[in-house]
Amino acid sequence: MGMLSGKHALVTGGGSGIGAAIALALAGEGARVTIVGRRREALDAIAAKSPSIGVVTADVTDEAAVASAFTEATKARGDISIVVANAGAAESALFARTTLDQFERMIAVNLTGVFLTLREGVRVMAGSSWGRLVVIASIAGLHGHAYAAGYSAAKHGAVGLTRTLAAETAGTGITVNAVCPGYAATPMLDESVARIVKKTGRSEAEARKVLADLNPAGRLVEPQEVADAVLKLCSPGSDGVTGQAIQIAEGAVA
């Protein structure tokens, strides 16, 4: 029996990295967990690690697919009381060279996907006296990041959505918060490392150090650290914490 026994949590982007760590952490505290994503194979690999985790495939940028995912998850595992909007993607380019397609892709996944997930989450929690909505944003949502116009704009929007929904749900027992990691050791970062290697000729280790050094402590955030923050937001005693953008950023200050 864990502190989340009897709760059902839905986590988007749960097939790898931070999303997978969150799903396993929630399951470890007794929650029934549904992980949502586009790649069934990756989702199944995480679900195989815990009997408490189920799988639903969906694209978070598709309105009908998000609604269907919530319906399917509820039918399979019961009412949802924890929603973690984690699905995201990153691309980088000099601002003047950023295409409209690139910009719109970043907005679609990192902002529209969060909006659709939060909206469905607050709908299924309507009338409940307890609920937790958590957005995995980024320190890029609190200050600008060079070469990441679309990503940074979307993450700023995600933090804004968090604060707006927190204001609307204040006093209902439903809290809404954002967790904002710095550069983290995830598959998304691996893609950034590969781009640096390709463009600069640096070794993989050198490229990884470049990104780690962007965190003040000079090391990458571990997915488990983000998962631990999510657990705290869902734990007893967290009722008064809402509308916050909590940094897990190795000393970065927005």
Active site residues: 151
CA nearest neighbour of 83 among 176, 186, 222, 179: 176
- Torsion region of 127: left, alpha or beta (phi above 0 gives left; psi -120 to 50 gives alpha): left
Q: CB within 8 A of 140, min separation 6: which ones?
A: 148, 151, 152, 155, 156
Q: What is the DSSP string of 89-114?
A: ------GGG--HHHHHHHHIIIIIHH
* Number of Cβ atoms within 10 Å of the Cβ of 236: 7
Task: Give CA separation, 76 vs 8, 59, 60, in Å.
Answer: 10, 19, 19
Contact 29, 230 (CB under 8 A): no
